[in-house]
Chain A
Amino acid sequence: NAGVTQTPKFRVLKTGQSMTLLCAQDMNHEYMYWYRQDPGMGLRLIHYSVGEGTTAKGEVPDGYNVSRLKKQNFLLGLESAAPSQTSVYFCASSRSRGGEAETQYFGPGTRLLVL
């Protein structure tokens, strides 16, 4: 049981390049989330998904796209990377919403540097 895994761990991009971050969970969770973490700002929600085939915008969605083609995977895409997207990206998943099931489980993070 690996929990939540993220690929890659670290990446350097040039401005304008594209890339996809992969998140996978083996806990059969319905809900999945992408956050970015910046110094002094905590974690901010980029996009989330409440089930296979669904996605929704979070607090800071601009410049990112997501897809949830399989229940266990949640992909975050950057079509044209900008230096402002330099950050640490965390994926999380949860069983459901509300009550005891709402605890989110986090991956180890992906550190992205955009030059």
Chain B
Amino acid sequence: GDSVTQMEGPVTLSEEAFLTINCTYTATGYPSLFWYVQYPGEGLQLLLKATKADDKGSNKGFEATYRKETTSFHLEKGSVQVSDSAVYFCALSVRNTGKLIFGQGTTLQVKP
């Protein structure tokens, strides 16, 4: 079945460091791909998404490119801030069902 695998956390970085969180997926067909972020004590918020191969989603300085050939959707940010500390979830949407399948989440901690 469809699945999403994220890199293990936690990831600890200093402010202004470069961030990469790896995400790979297995799916039949061509799913849409998402990154959601969960700040402490809150629900999930959509960070960015891509709906077809080679699309790049971007928001708040974060980017991810839909790579069909490597079945990946890695999240990147050039310079992280303390306020980026959160749990990041990669997810795919199963075509024509509306359902999301989530990775296990990666905790990011950014230190000043």
Contacts and interface: CB of A to CB of B under 8 A. Distances in A.
Nearest to B31: A102
A12 to B, nearest CB: 18
Contacts of B46: 103-105
Interface string A29-62: 0010100000011111100101000000010000
Nearest to B103: A42
Interface of B: 4, 32, 34, 36, 42-46, 49, 51, 89, 93, 95-100, 102-105
Nearest to A58: B99
A42 B43 contact: no
Given A45-B100, A105-B46, 18 more contacts: A4-B43, A33-B100, A40-B104, A43-B44, A43-B89, A45-B99, A48-B98, A58-B99, A90-B43, A90-B44, A97-B96, A98-B93, A98-B95, A98-B98, A100-B51, A102-B32, A106-B45, A107-B43
B43 A109 contact: yes
Which of B46, B49, B96, B102 has the largest number of chain A CB atoms within 10 A? B102
Contacts, number: 56
A98 B94 CA distance: 8
User: Chain A interface residue count: which class?
Assistant: 20 to 34
A43 B87 CA distance: 12
A43 B36 CA distance: 11
A43 B102 contact: yes
Contacts of A100: 51
A94 B98 contact: yes
A8 interface: no
Contacts of B4: 42
A22 B103 CA distance: 26
Nearest to A4: B43
Given A45-B99, A48-B99, A90-B44, A102 B104 contact: no
B96 A42 contact: no
Contact of B98 (A90, A96, A106, A108): A96
Contacts of A58: 99
